[in-house]
Amino acid sequence: MKKAIHGRDKTGNSWVYTDIVKDHFFNPRNLLPQGQESGYEADGVGRVGSPACGDEMVIWIKVDPKSEKIKECKWQTFGCGSAIASTSMLSEMVVEKGGMTVEQAMKISPKDIMDRLGGLPARKIHCSVLGDKALRGAINDWFRKSGQNDRIVQESSRLVDKVLKITDKDIEDAVLDGARTWEDLDRKLKVGSGEESARHEIEQLLRFYSEKYFGKEN
């Protein structure tokens, strides 16, 4: 049975960190030490978030041009323990077993990261959403630098629900238009009649954009 760290947030709700999260927080993998950024020759760089308003993640990757496998994945994160653990796990996932191809890495979802971590507290799920966005940003940067502009995937056009053709941008726009709950999204986007498998990621994106634009609940 997995051990966990227990505690409560400001509202009194319980949260749990697994031993895996704790391990990646205290022993982060593939971290690029501060001050070494300029000397690290990356093939692609992705950055999301801002330290002024919360978590920020930067990911550097090196890609084998023939196999298109990611051979190295370095990162820096300004944020909480969940952000550090999520990015550390993500960096390990993309280079293990000889490395993922860029196409495989582009398909990593926040749920994939959380599953490997053994879960995250509900209020910390947005940390894993940032991690996969930063990775896709780094891969897009590699596409751009290697003259493969036709392969660049715009973040705003990424499909979340393939049945209803809902993108993450649709969810972001719905939040900006007042959606705060699943029921709100259902009224605006009819998410309840879409892919059941997409619900988990849609809920994560709803929380992420709500916190990004309107702050965390007190």
- On the question of a common fold for 4-150 and 154-218, the answer reads no
- Distance of alpha carbon 92 from alpha carbon 30, whole angstroms: 7
Residues in the chain: 218
The C-alpha R_g of the chain, in whole angstroms, comes to 17
pTM of the predicted structure, to 2 decimals: 0.69
Query: What is the pLDDT, as a whole number, of residue 125?
Result: 66
Ordered by start, the domain boundaries in the chain are: 4-150, 154-218
**Which amino acid, one-letter code, is at 127?**
C
Determine which one of 5, 53, 152, 153 is catalytic. Answer: 53
Query: What is the pLDDT, as a whole number, of residue 14?
Result: 43
Please name the residues in contact with 98: beta carbons below 8 A apart, sequence gap of 6 or more.
69
Q: Three-class SS string for the chain?
A: CCCEEEEECCCCCEEEEEHHHHHHHHCCCCECCCCCCCCCCCCEEEEEECCCCCCEEEEEEEECCCCCEEEEEEEEEECCHHHHHHHHHHHHHHHHHHCCEHHHHHCCCHHHHHHHHCCCCHHHCHHHHHHHHHHHHHHHHHHHHCCCHHHCCCHHHCEEECCCCEEHHHHHHHHHCCCCCHHHHHHHHCHHHCCHHHHHHHHHHHHHHHHHHHCCCC
Fold of 154-218: Arc Repressor Mutant, subunit A (1.10.10)
Determine which one of 70, 83, 120, 127 is catalytic. Answer: 127
Among 83, 87, 89, 74, smallest CA distance to 20 is for 89
**Catalytic residue flag (residue 53):** yes
State the number of CA atoms in the 13 A half-sphere of 166 facing the CB.
26
**Catalytic residue flag (residue 127):** yes
CATH architecture for the domain at 4-150 = Alpha-Beta Complex (3.90)
The pLDDT tens digits along the chain (218 residues) read 334 444 444 444 445 788 999 999 999 999 999 899 889 999 999 998 766 556 688 999 999 999 999 999 999 988 788 889 999 999 999 999 999 999 999 999 888 888 899 987 766 666 666 788 899 999 999 999 999 999 998 766 678 888 888 988 889 888 888 899 999 999 999 998 888 889 998 998 998 888 877 776 64
